[in-house]
Amino acid sequence: MNLHQVSLPTPGNRKVLLLHGAGVAARLTWGGVIPQLRQASEVLAPDLYGAGETFYAHRSEQAFSIDEQVAHLAEVLTDYGWHEFDLVGYSFGGLLAMKLAATGEFSIARTVLVEPALMEREDWQETLTRRRLYRHATEPLKTSATPEQGVTAFLDLVSPGRSKHPRVERRVVSRLAHRPLGLAHALESVAEAAEGLDRERLLAHQRQVLSVVGERTPEPAHELHRRLASRPDWTYRTVPGCDHALPYQKPAVLGDLISAFIGTDA
């Protein structure tokens, strides 16, 4: 697993683990967020399976499960001596963050979930139905002649209402086209994990959580996160003008939210 470890010249004293979304490297996801983490003295941002510079030994893409990724991540953290830290996960990385916290192997002070996977709506059966569709929609990522064609076909299936302004579309496609097969495997691992997941039980293992959802993300996600915010240890925030691509759209705002949250008990 390729790791990006950053020591920050800030007055903070917190260690922060950042987990990116499906198929997009850690540097690209968190590059604009890290400078805002004023409470952090050290940041660890790994390239997860199927993304960035993390490859299998023979450098081919292979399918993986969420549990395999979590187990490897736990091994890496133990090897690095990271036993106490704050945890941030975006999308696919949000699901990993919740699963990692649920292992009980680490002392996680605060968790920030940014548009976390499998948390898009209150109705679990609807969530499963959508994820099964996503699983089928990954086929273009595996079979198209060029990465860009595969990514565009995938986006047309799963996000037909997205902004298609040429500049925005180029950026989105470019982000996702770097490792299209890795992206497909990550999305399929989420769909596979969903089939056997007890989401309420997983949520019961979460403590001191901030969930962040883009204002333009569909309303069902906001309904779920508002319900969770009725818990005394769960806070929910929205970021105006953003959708699921929040870390790329307003990284400084997101960084400020994370820093303020992890600093409340510093």
Tell me: pLDDT of 70 over 90.
Answer: yes
Tell me: pLDDT of 132 over 90.
Answer: no
| Domain range 3-122+199-262, its CATH number among 3.40.50.150, 1.10.10.10, 3.40.50.970, 3.40.50.1820 | 3.40.50.1820
* pLDDT the model gives residue 59: 61
Grade residue 150 by pLDDT with cuts at 50, 70 and 90.
confident
* Domain coordinates in residue numbering, the chain: 3-122+199-262
* pLDDT the model gives residue 12: 67
237-257: average pLDDT: 94
166-181: average pLDDT: 87
* pLDDT the model gives residue 202: 97
* pLDDT the model gives residue 82: 94
Write out pLDDT tens, residues 9-67.
Answer: 666 688 999 999 998 999 999 999 999 998 888 999 999 998 878 776 666 778 899 99
* Close Cβ partners of 95 (under 8 Å, ≥ 6 residues apart): 66, 89, 116, 117, 118, 190, 193
Q: What angle separates helix 166-177 from helix 147-158, to the nearest 10 degrees?
A: 110
Tell me: pLDDT of 229 over 90.
Answer: yes
* pLDDT the model gives residue 232: 96
Tell me: pLDDT of 156 over 60.
Answer: yes
Tell me: pLDDT of 266 over 50.
Answer: no
Tell me: pLDDT of 196 over 60.
Answer: yes
239-266: average pLDDT: 90
